[in-house]
Structure formats: C-alpha cells, structure tokens
Amino acid sequence: MKHLLQIAAVVVLCAFCTNASAQMSYGGEPYTFKNTNLSQVVPTIEVEALDAEALLAEDASIHGKDHALRIGVTKDVNYSIDNAGRMDYLPDGGRLWRIAFHMDQATFTSMNFSVFEIPEGAELYLYTPDQEYVIGKFTNLNKMEDGTFYPQELPGEDVVVEYYEPAGVAFEGKLTIDQISQGYYDFFHIREVQGGLGNAVGTCHPNAICYDAQWHEQITSVVCYTMTSGGYVYMCSGAMVNNTARDGKQYLLSANHCYEAGTWKFYFLYQATTCNGTNGSILKTATGFQLKARDNGNTSSDFMLVEITGTINPNFNIYLSGWDRSTSVPTNPTSCAAIHHPGGDIKKFSIPQHINNGATSGYAKFWLANWAYSTGTTEQGSSGSPLFNKDKLIVGQLYAGSSSCVSGTPEGSTGPSGWDLYGKLSNSWTNNNNSSNAKKLQPWLDPANTGATTLQGEYLNTVGMTNFTQVVNALSVFPNPNSGMMTVNGTFGEGTGLCNVYDMMGNLVVSRNIALAPEFQLNLNTLTPGVYMMEISENGTTHRTKVVISK
C-alpha cells in the first residue's frame, strides 16, 4: 500500500525563541510515478553500515532515564544538482533530477537541505524505492528564512530524492544535501518486533489503546519526537498542553534533559489500534519548534516547554491536555496514569501503584511513582512523558528513575517497585519565583495571570469554542469495596447526570442517566467482581472515582 505523507514541516533555526514559519507539504505525486516511460535507473550513493551493535552497547552502558534516547547517527555530505545524481532533460523543456541513497542496514533515513532555492512550479519528493512511503510535494514555499529545508525520517535503508522543474520557470533550481541521518535503533519497527507488544526493552507495558475508552483524549495528547543534533538523532516523549488563554498555542510539555538544539520532528498518534497490536502509523507528523522555557533537574523540576511551529493537520484531531499545578499529592494512584513511548515504542499506558511526595525523601521538586508488573512501568525514551492524576490532568513530567519491567533489565534497574521521579508542575510553575520567563511555565500556560490552579483540556481543532468548568471534581463512594450497592457523595447540583462505568481495560460497561443530589444511592449490582472507574457528568463538570465490586 502506498502511503502519501502529507506532513507539516518546519525547520528550527536553533536560536532561542526564534521565529519560524510553517512549511506544509502540498500533496501530489512524483513525476516518475505518472511517466513510467522514463528510465528508472537512478545513481545511488552507497553509505556503509553503522556498527549498530557497538552503538547499542554504548547506549546500554549509560544507565537511567535522565537522558534522551539515541536512535541514529548523522553524517555531513555535499550532494547537489551540480555534482551528483541524474538529470533528465524532458521533451517539453522541463528537467528532472534524481538521486538515491542506500544506507546499509539503516532502520530509517533522513536528510537536510542546506540550499533549497527552487522556482515557483517546481516540486520535490522523497520516497522509498518500492513507493511504499512518499513525502511531498514540497515547493518554493517550503524554503526557510535561511534558505534551508528539513523533511521527516523515512523507514528503511533506501530513499530516492526526486526534483521536477517544468519548462518556462523563472530560474533554474538549486538543491544541496549537506547532512544525512542513518538510523540504527529500530524506531519504526521495520525489523522483527522485540518484546511482547513492540520494541521496548520490557514487555509489561500495555498498549495505550487498551485504555482508549476511558483516556482517549489524554492518549491523543501524548507525542513522540525526534531531534537531530551534534552528529546524532535522539528521541523523547511529551504531551500537548492547553493554556488559560485557550488560543490554540501548540505547546508541548517535556523534560529539560531531552533538549537538543537542532531539527525536531513530532510523531502524533504513533500507537497500535488494538490491545495486541505491535505497530502503529508513522504518517501523522509535524516539524519544527520554538523553545519557550526550560530548567534542569538540579535547580528545578527538569521541565521543558516548546511550541510546535509546524501546522498540525486538523485531521489528526489532537488534544491539548489539561493540568493541575496544585501542591496536593495525587490521590487514588491506581486511578492515575502515565502515557509514554518507552524505548521509542508505540504508545504505552502505565498505572501507578503509589505516588508519594518526594519532599519526604529529599526530592522536593518531584512526585515519586512506582508500578505493578501487569500495568507497566517506564523506560528510557519515556523521558518527558506526562503523569496524569485521577482527574486526568497533568501533574508532572518524567525526569528519572529506577523502575523497569524486570529487575536488572536494563542494568541498574530495580523492577516495577522501583521509584520514578516526575517533575512537579507546581514547582515548574514559577520555579521558585524565577524572574526569567524562560525558566518557568506560568507566563506560557497562564499568560493572562488568571491564577488558575487547574485547567481542563480541549481539542486543538475546537479550542476556545466552548465554555467549561476548569476544575474536575472527585467524588466518594462508600462502602468501597461493595457488592454493587453504594452511597455516592459529591459536589453535585440538583438534577440529572450521566453515569458511565468503565472496566480497567477501558471498556464502557454501564451508561445510564441518574438523579443527582449531594448524596444518593446507586445500584451497580449487575457488575461482576472487579475494579471499575466511575464517571459522573453534569452541566460540563465531571466527577470520577474508582469503585471495587466484591461479592
């Protein structure tokens, strides 16, 4: 099946908070796909294989989660229309330039154009030789202010660059490829899948889609991103977040230790479509960022906020998650969640067993979370991913920790009971009243200084279009556990509400309209014994809690 990747692509100019304009691909099909009478012989640049085994061993020797996951190597090159490739002069006066790269045993390829001077009407595409993956078309509108251009990664070890220039253009185009990237870590799962459900080191992480019915919006907000910098390609996790202005700013919250100055590429909805799935779509991307604020884990909570400058395709229907910056320790930890890309894998979902205030053990800037084997942990590559409280609001981002699916794998890890550190949003908010806007979240997530402690999430496509109550309220149930007959207590108004009950796989098992009061009786005795999440909605306000049925 041919995949035409109609992506948003923007280049980073590497300076702090610089301006970059959105660079969209404009659809279409390469000239050679439509004109099959042309010779398909294209000069190929052969790039020798990396010593992947040595690189992976080197990566494995760096213990912990407090650094970005390295996945590829970059090389400086100099290939242009004038010195490489094949130029065909077409009967109608146009011309066609092609060059191919074979990066032996590479798991993915990408390249940067240091010169991107093409006339109006000209088109650039990149594709795999089997035409399975195609990105473009890119036009003169894609040129950055500094004359460069950066497309996304493509799976596999082969890529073809094709430039078509029609007759009668204003000038002859110039293209120069100055850098290529060669993947050695199987970021796109093109090889045999490792682990139980993907290529993470551990096999205890459930696919995020298993919890989609209950956590769909929050799952949609979590992003995997790559960075090309200093001769290497890295990856981390993060989450799109809302702000009190509700103006659709494309803010991504992640970890400071992930930061690498260079070109950034964001992968949305890189996740399985079934609980047992082992792969996900890589077609939903955007490229480019502006750094807004960050600070390290020694002086702050190791946070980073960037704004994605490339236009995010509305068809992705991305969610901007809400947040809670209060200092309250998240309660009901098994009703909380961590959503992440361990080892660069497809999106996973982990349920904490305990969440503690790090202040009691010398980690005042962090929440401490640990896990149970059957409901996932975190890994390197999960760095920067969000921790959600029971109200589905972000309270922190992953900094470091010793948890793993199995003790000692990777070396130095302590199994699911190991503690992970999540930088507190409450600490990042003002960063001890730091005077610099570049070292705190408040100026960006509460730009009008409303003083809001919590904010609900919204879909990017419709942000600001509806009114909502910012606080998501908890409720209490007693007795709990119970046989299905229970008393519900909450800050309800008088009237009716919708009660939805989900099992721990995220399946909706009960949905009914109920009469509300500050305290009322509820009968759920048709449910089988187990743990459930109950959600009661009224007039735009949502109340949630965990219910244990025991008979």
Q: How far is residue 110's CA from residue 232's CA, in Å, rounded to a whole number?
A: 12
Query: What percent of the chain is predicted at pLDDT more than 90?
Result: 66
Q: Measure the CA–CA gap between 203 and 206, rounded to whole angstroms.
A: 8
Domain end among 136, 151, 183: 183
Check which CATH number belongs to the domain holding 493 and give it. 2.60.40.3080
Look at residue 60 and tell me if it is in a domain. yes
Domain count across the chain: 2
Q: Of 212, 302, 345, 420, which is the active-site residue?
A: 302
pLDDT over threshold 80, residue 395 = yes
Instruction: State residue 448's pLDDT score.
Output: 87
Residue 93 has pLDDT above 70, yes or no: yes
* pLDDT number for residue 190: 64
CA separation for the pair 170, 144 (Å, rounded): 19
pLDDT of residue 533: 81
**pLDDT tens, position by position, 440-478:** 999 999 998 888 899 999 999 999 887 765 555 667 899
Tokens for 30, please give them.
């390469």
Find tokens 């009967």 and name the residue: 91
DSSP per-residue string spanning 455-507? E--EEGGGTTSS---SPPEE-EEESSSBSSEEEEE-S--SEEEEEEEEETTS-
The confidence score (pLDDT) of residue 3 equals 47
Q: Place 209 in a pLDDT band, splitting at 50, 70 and 90.
A: very high
Q: Read off the pLDDT of residues 15-28 as tens digits, 9 standing for 90 and up.
A: 333 323 333 466 78
Residue with tokens 């910012």: 470
According to DSSP, the residues that pair with 149 across neighbouring strands are 113
Last residue in a domain, options 140, 165, 183? 183
Is the pLDDT confidence value at 94 over 60? yes
In a domain, 507, yes or no: yes
Q: How far apart are CA 29 and CA 120, in angstroms?
A: 17
Assigned domain for 8 exists: yes
- What pLDDT was estimated at residue 68? 94
Domain that includes residue 163, residue range: 3-183
Tokens 């990149």: give the residue: 126
Asked whether residue 221 is domain-assigned, the answer is no
3-state secondary structure of 307: strand
* Selection from 425, 424, 442 nearest residue 433 by Cα: 442
Range with lowest mean pLDDT among 109-113, 395-399, 484-488, 531-535: 531-535
CA 247 to chain centre: 21
Q: What angle do CA 117, 122, 126 make, to 5 degrees?
A: 85
Q: Which of helix, strand or coil describes residue 57?
A: helix
As a whole number of angstroms, the longest Cα–Cα distance in the chain is 83
User: What's the confidence (pLDDT) of residue 294?
Assistant: 98
Rounded distance between C-alpha atoms, residue 355 and residue 372, angstroms:
13
In angstroms, rounded to a whole number, what is the distance separating the alpha carbons of residues 250 and 154?
24
Res. 4 pLDDT band, cuts 50 70 90:
very low
Structural tokens at position 551: 């008979």
- Cβ pair 96, 170 in contact under 8 A: no
199: confidence class by pLDDT, cuts 50, 70, 90: low
pLDDT over threshold 50, residue 211: yes
Residue type, 27: G
Q: How confident is the model at residue 506 (pLDDT cuts 50, 70, 90)?
A: low
pLDDT tens digits for 359-384? 998 999 999 999 998 899 999 999 99
Strand 95-103 vs strand 44-47: parallel, antiparallel, or unpaired?
A: parallel
- Confidence bin at 197 (pLDDT 50/70/90): very low
The reported pLDDT for the residue numbered 522 is 93
Residue 503 has pLDDT above 90, yes or no: no
| 313, part of any domain | no
User: Which of 257, 340, 341, 543 is the catalytic position?
Assistant: 257
Residue 393 inside a domain? The answer is: no
Q: Report the SS3 class of residue 526.
A: coil
209 vs 347: CA distance, rounded Å: 8
Letter for the amino acid at 516? L
Mean per-residue pLDDT, 106-129 = 95
Q: Could you say which of 181, 301, 383, 402 is catalytic?
A: 383
Residue 495 lies in a domain: yes
pLDDT at 450: 87
The pLDDT, as a whole number, for residue 258 is 97
DSSP string, 169-183: -SS--EEEEEEEEEE
- State residue 543's pLDDT score: 78
pLDDT at 58: 92
Q: What's the confidence (pLDDT) of residue 198?
A: 45
CA angle, corner 295, sides to 292 and 301, nearest 5?
120
The tokens for 53 are: 């085994």
Q: Residue written as tokens 């190991």?
A: 418
Average pLDDT over residues 277-287: 83
Residue 91: asked if its preceding bond is cis (omega within 30°), the reply is no
Q: How confident is the model at residue 278 (pLDDT cuts 50, 70, 90)?
A: confident
Band (pLDDT 50/70/90 cuts) for residue 11 is very low
For position 20, what pLDDT does the model report? 32
Residue 535, CA atoms < 13 Å, CB-side half-sphere: 23
Q: Is 302 a catalytic residue?
A: yes
Percent of the chain at pLDDT above 70? Answer: 91
Question: Which of residues 132, 151, 183 is at a domain's end?
Answer: 183
**Section 133-155 average pLDDT:** 86
Q: Is residue 259 part of a domain?
A: no
Dist. CA 305–CA 324, nearest whole Å: 16
Give mean pLDDT, residues 490-497: 82
Q: pLDDT of 408-448, one tens digit each? A: 877 778 899 999 999 999 999 999 999 999 999 999 999 98
**Is there a catalytic annotation at residue 257?**
yes
Mean pLDDT computed over every residue of the chain? 88
Q: What is the DSSP string of 397-425?
A: EEEEE---SBTTBSTT---TTS-EEEEEH
Mean pLDDT of all residues in 237-250: 97
* Whether residue 295 lies in the annotated active site: no
Q: Report residue 347 CA to chain centroid gap.
A: 8
- Check residue 473 and give its pLDDT: 60
List all residues 6 or more positions away from 425 whose beta carbon is below 8 Å from its beta carbon: 301, 303, 323, 324, 325, 394, 395, 396, 397, 441
Determine if residue 444 is left, alpha or beta; phi over 0 gives left, psi from -120 to 50 gives alpha, anything else beta.
alpha
